[in-house]
Homo-oligomer: A and B are copies of this chain.
Amino acid sequence: MADYETFELGNLVLQSGATLRNAKLAYKTHGTLSRSKDNVIVYPTFFGGQHTHNEGLIGEGRALDPRRYFIIVPDMLGNGLSSSPSNTPPPYDRARFPGVSLYDNVMCQHRLVTEQFGVERIALVCGFSMGAQQSFHWGALFPDMVERIAPWCGSARTSPHNFVFLEGVKAALCADDAWNGGWYDRQPGKGLRAMARVYAGWAPSQAFYRERVFLNMGFSSLEDYLITGWEGRYLQLDANDILAMVYTWQHGDISDNPLYEGDFLKALGSIKAKSLVMPSRTDQYFPPEDNEIEVGHMPNAELRVIPTIWGHIGGGPGRNPEDTRFIDDALKELLAS
């Protein structure tokens, strides 16, 4: 039995002009919506993740405490649970799955929150990585609805360097002939393994490898970490789903929508929510500098750097106890304010 719900989006018209008919948004909730509907937290998922991967920060005694808050975890389109290349029927299936933006995602989530739950105010939108990017989008697209945002290890707009890093990930996956332009019968294993190795260089930091942190994570060697920790992880995903999420990531930009028409500074300046922006000190593709620039244009934002050598993955919910505690403490402080 599925541990999640599905919200029927009907005919979903995307920014790209495509219509996904009978589109679906998977989500999971934790806790109970209060009578006054004032205890809502939206906590979107990250690249390659599903709602379960967010749960390392949810629990009794945590900031995201289901005894107090009603926590909605919407699954990102393309992640294999919400509408994705791998689960969409023809004709928009597989290689024909259209490009989906973070704007599209957040507009769907807004419908879920308002139509399904009748919610008008959100206490907090928070998330890791692409979840952080969705948090920024919520803040910019619904400034009068969102009281707080806490994006960590993610940016309001995907930087050119981040875009190029993802070009490498894509190219490695698609270099495998078995990928066949997305019309594979079996998963392109060689390509998935190649992209996993590319990714492995980016997600942790130089210092993470220098200090061989992976040896304390249940891996017996560097090669075991690459095979089990990285190849094993991406072999579980569908190649077209991965590429759909990469598209979404590469096109991340809070101002690329009718509201802001590309005026990035205006979009940043419109985020009224009290914002706590937390980059990892050693993140190689969402470096603190990008957030520093963004926070400088946000009226109500604080930059708080996570002091970790785990690189990007330090922000993974529950991944590293120390970093998870840092984030949890920060979320508590933000929610109390």
Residues of A within 8 A of B (CB): 159-161, 163-165, 167-168, 170-178, 190-191, 193-194, 197-202, 204-210, 212, 222, 226, 284-285, 287, 289-290
Contacts and interface: CB of A to CB of B under 8 A. Distances in A.
Given A171-B172, A172-B168, A161 B194 contact: no
Contacts of A190: 175
A251 to B, nearest CB: 14
Given A174-B194, A175-B176, A190-B175, A200 B160 contact: no
Per assembly, the copies of the chain total: 2
30 contacts: A160-B210, A160-B212, A161-B201, A161-B204, A161-B205, A161-B206, A163-B209, A163-B222, A164-B209, A164-B222, A167-B197, A167-B201, A168-B168, A168-B197, A168-B198, A168-B200, A168-B201, A170-B197, A171-B197, A172-B194, A173-B175, A175-B175, A175-B194, A194-B194, A198-B198, A201-B202, A206-B287, A206-B289, A207-B289, A210-B290
A165 B199 CA distance: 9
A175 to B, nearest CB: 4
A176 B193 CA distance: 12
Nearest to A201: B165
Contact of A160 (B165, B194, B209, B287): B209
Nearest to A192: B175
The secondary structure that dominates the A interface is helix
A233 to B, nearest CB: 15
A161 B210 contact: yes
Contacts of A191: 175
A163 B209 CA distance: 10
Nearest to A231: B171
Contacts of A194: 168, 171-172, 174-175, 194
B289 A161 contact: no
A173 to B, nearest CB: 8
Contacts of A289: 206-207, 210
Contacts of A290: 206, 210
A200 B193 CA distance: 20
Nearest to A198: B168
A208 to B, nearest CB: 8
B210 A164 contact: no
A153 to B, nearest CB: 14
Contacts of A212: 160
Contacts of A160: 209-210, 212, 222
A300 to B, nearest CB: 24
